[in-house]
Amino acid sequence: MQRAGDSMQLPAPFLADRGAIDDATMLIREHGEEAGFAAAARAEQYRVLGNHLYFARWRQIERLITYLSIETALDTVH
């Protein structure tokens, strides 16, 4: 539970493989600030097709893009 005064906690996305980072990089390069929306659209396409594996993959890529777009440190910095 989040206490008053605590900053929002955004969990780090799960990355199954290096390809997820490559896909996120490609979307950021092609779509800029709209990259998260592009990943969400791909996830939705796979949801409609009933492909839950690719749906989950693109949702995680969307989360990765969101995570990377935040300018403050969200976790311990080493």
DSSP string covering 28-78, please?
Answer: HHHHGGGHHHHHHHHHHHHHHHT-HHHHHHHHHHHHHHHHHH--S--S---
CA distances from 63 to 4, 5, 6, 78 (A): 25, 24, 21, 22
- The highest-confidence range among 4-8, 12-16, 69-73, by mean pLDDT, is 12-16
- State the Cα–Cα distance between residues 42 and 29, nearest whole angstrom: 16
- State the Cα–Cα distance between residues 24 and 9, nearest whole angstrom: 21
pLDDT tens, position by position, 34-53: 999 999 999 999 999 999 99
pTM of the model: 0.78
In the chain, the percentage of residues whose pLDDT exceeds 70 is 79
More confident residue, 40 or 1: 40
